[in-house]
């Protein structure tokens, strides 16, 4: 027996909701088609086949406002009156309103099943194959089907104590995953409205960073560094990116020799605390 796919009211509402949310994903040509189909249908009903004798521009200028009123999408962007010229910009706004207000439903190839659920096992296999430090956890968010964002949680206290620098890049992970999915599964990337997958990059989330800065950097490391050259250091700036962090020493006005000697002592101190010079970089 042939399976019949019954569209329940709940599912219809879900599909309509997806279409409305995807309005900004369509190209101008899609809206233009929606407008022309509705306008041609309306003007044919009003004038009959005689409407085919006139240029579209004439019909728009003469009947455009009446058409808007008839379908309930009156354009008042510039306070148009009934005799205003029907410009391409006005046409585009009205076309978008037709779709936004549900007067016309554009074709939509969006899927209902989430990409990360459909390919959960494949993604897990990929993550086991690529070289990612064990203190990095890759995560995916997908608020709408086929709109995927890649993030990564980095255990900062573990990262900062690594003996060697390891590059951590969302861009590299995204590029390798995209290449893997294209080559081995045939996933197409692009506009979700066309049934394709849109994959974007989030950011690195350094877990435990704030606590480390508060309890280790501010309470110990900065104090010890300032004690090494108490009269030379103006301030210490800290930033982290990728798989490393940087301590930038800002000196007061002093000779190059004194700064160079102080930097060497500071670097020796940082290493004595168990930090690799490639992971916790000291510069000025």
Q: Write out pLDDT tens, residues 224-251.
A: 999 998 888 889 999 998 899 999 999 8
When pLDDT is averaged across residues 38-62 and rounded to a whole number, the result is 92
Q: At what angle do helices 28-47 and 88-100 cross, to 10 degrees?
A: 90
Task: Kindly state the DSSP code that residue 215 receives in the 8-state scheme.
Answer: I
The pLDDT, as a whole number, for residue 79 is 54
Q: Given a cut of 80, is residue 152 above it in pLDDT?
A: yes
The pLDDT, as a whole number, for residue 4 is 42
Yes or no: say if 206 and 157 are a contact pair by the CB < 8 Å rule.
no
Domain borders along the chain are: 9-100, 115-206, 210-283
Strand ranges inside 49-197, DSSP E: 136-144, 147-155
Q: Helical H runs in 48-164?
A: 56-71, 88-100, 115-118, 120-129, 156-159
Tokens of 38: 């509705």
CB-based burial of residue 186 (10 Å sphere; 0-12 exposed, 13-18 middle, 19+ buried)? Answer: exposed
The pLDDT, as a whole number, for residue 1 is 40
Q: Is 129 left (phi over 0), alpha (psi -120 to 50) or beta?
A: alpha
Architecture of domain 210-283: 2-Layer Sandwich (3.30)
When pLDDT is averaged across residues 72-93 and rounded to a whole number, the result is 73
The pLDDT, as a whole number, for residue 84 is 61
Q: Given a cut of 60, is residue 217 above it in pLDDT?
A: yes
The pLDDT, as a whole number, for residue 114 is 94
């Amino acid at each position: 027996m042939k399976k019949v796919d019954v569209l329940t009211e709940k599912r219809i509402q879900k599909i309509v909701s997806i279409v409305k949310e995807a309005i900004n994903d369509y190209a101008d040509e899609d809206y233009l088609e929606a407008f022309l189909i509705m306008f041609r249908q309306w003007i044919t009903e009003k004038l009959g086949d005689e409407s085919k004798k006139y240029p579209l521009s004439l019909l728009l200028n003469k009947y455009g406002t009446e058409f808007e009123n008839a379908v309930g999408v009156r354009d008042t962007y510039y306070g148009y009156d009934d005799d205003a010229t029907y410009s391409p910009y006005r046409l585009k706004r009205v076309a978008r309103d037709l779709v936004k207000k549900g007067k016309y439903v554009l074709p939509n190839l969006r899927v209902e099943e989430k990409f990360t659920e459909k390919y959960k096992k494949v993604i897990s296999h990929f993550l086991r194959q690529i070289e990612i430090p064990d203190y990095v956890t890759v995560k995916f968010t997908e608020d709408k089907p086929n709109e995927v964002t890649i993030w990564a949680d980095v255990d900062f206290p573990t990262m900062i104590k690594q003996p060697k620098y390891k590059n951590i890049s969302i861009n590299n992970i995204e590029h390798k995953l995209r290449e893997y999915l294209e080559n081995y599964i045939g996933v197409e990337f692009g506009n979700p409205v066309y049934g394709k997958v849109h994959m974007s990059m989030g950011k690195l989330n350094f877990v435990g960073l704030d606590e480390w800065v508060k309890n280790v950097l501010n309470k110990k490391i900065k104090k010890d560094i300032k004690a090494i050259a108490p009269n030379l250091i103006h301030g210490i700036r800290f930033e982290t990116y990728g798989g490393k962090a940087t301590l930038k020493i800002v000196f007061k006005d002093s000779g190059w020799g004194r700064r160079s000697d102080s930097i060497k002592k500071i670097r020796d101190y940082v290493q004595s605390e168990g930090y690799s010079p490639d992971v916790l970089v000291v510069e000025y």
